[in-house]
Amino acid sequence: MKLRFSTRKLEKSVESFSAIQRHYGNMAKKVDIRLQQLSAASNLEKLIHLNGLKCHELHAERSGELSVRISPNHRIVFRADHEPPPEKEDGGLDWKLVTAIVITAIAVDYH
């Protein structure tokens, strides 16, 4: 998938592994792996089958966003980078058609 970041600051926090270490500390290796997995997937549906990722759509004030697990409490949060987002007939997000995302937060604990 094509990855984009919602802010330049967020993009800079992952521009190299040393930047990831500086910004995310002991979660750096997992952040790097997750970003590689997101980038390598041809579409969002491919993420469903990756162990430990737990990709899912968010609700309430985070409606329209999705997340993948970094640790038990921390996530990478993103949204489809399509205007409008591709939908299934029932109105839900069509994960097969999402080929680009905008990452809005990394290592956030929204619980």
Domains annotated on the chain, with CATH: 2-108 (3.30.2310.20)
Band (pLDDT 50/70/90 cuts) for residue 107 is confident
Q: How far apart are CA 103 and CA 111, in angstroms?
A: 18
User: Which of helix, strand or coil describes residue 8?
Assistant: helix
What pLDDT sits at residue 111? 65
Q: Considering only residues 88 and 111, tell me which one the structure prediction assigns the higher pLDDT.
A: 88
Share of the chain above pLDDT 90, in %: 68
